[in-house]
Amino acid sequence: MTIQTVSTNKSYGGVQGVYRHASQATGTDMVFSVYVPPHADGAKLPVVWYLSGLTCTHANVTEKGEFRKACAELGLIFVAPDTSPRGPDVPGDANNAYDFGLGAGFYVDATQEPFARNYRMWSYVTDELPKLVAENFPVDAKRQSVMGHSMGGHGALTVALRNPHRFRAASAFAPIVAPSQVPWGIKALTGYLGPNKDAWRNHDTVALIEDGAKFSGFLVDYGDADNFLKEQLKPELLDAACSKANIPLTLRRQAGYDHSYYFISTFMSDHLHWHAARLTA
């Protein structure tokens, strides 16, 4: 699989790159970013996957996430995919809403028309893109972790729970922990997977835990000034599910913080140090 370099910039001694490739999973061109920290020739480095939220592309965290200093110090590769397929022939929301379709792939493989042909973000982020990154960057495939924000927090936690032997750590900022129970998730899962709620459970963190999925532990931050906290995020449901299943959870309520990248960037270094401790153990 070949990639096209869109741009590269030196940062903290490493290289921040943006790349494009033709995706077999989505049937479209996809753009993603990779930060490679300074390292010795021939070294293989641990990798952190970052899954973004609604309306985002790779660019939001790349430009506003403030992760490069910590990644350079800790020796972490940081990969940020897009959140959905894109292109003139890719269907979106009929009413151009922000929470479905373009920029809102919800990290599932759609089964419903007209979305099934392109909206295969689960396959993209768990299979195709990891193979592509491993072929083109100095990744140690045995040392991987995953994190995300909001819709991407949902993606990160479900990816970890369904692939516990691949990922050493998983964390999230303001994740949608129970999409089957909140408006964003109900809309997306109905549109992509159909009305049968049994099909939704593989893409619902709380449901996966209820059904027996395990992971070594999670770090989750959310802000108590987040406008989406009560209606869409419901971190208390994750707290209850992890407690019942004996899954270690560090759940931190951050006073005064909202849903934005001002919040994410504030605690990004904390998360990366937490990941690094597990990736280098």
Q: How far apart are CA 33 and CA 31, in angstroms?
A: 7
The DSSP string of 80-95 is E--SS--STTS---TT
Residue 15 main-chain phi, psi, to 5 deg: -125, 125
Q: How far apart are CA 184 and CA 176, in angstroms?
A: 9
Tell me the two tokens of residue 1. 């699989």
Please give the DSSP secondary-structure letter assigned to residue 27: S
Q: If residue 159 lies in a helix (H) or strand (E), which one and from where to where? A: helix 151-162
Active-site residue list = 150, 226, 259
Least Cα distance to 149 among 201, 220, 207 occurs for 220
- Contact between 261 and 274 (Cβ < 8 Å): no
Q: How far apart are CA 281 and CA 276, in angstroms?
A: 8
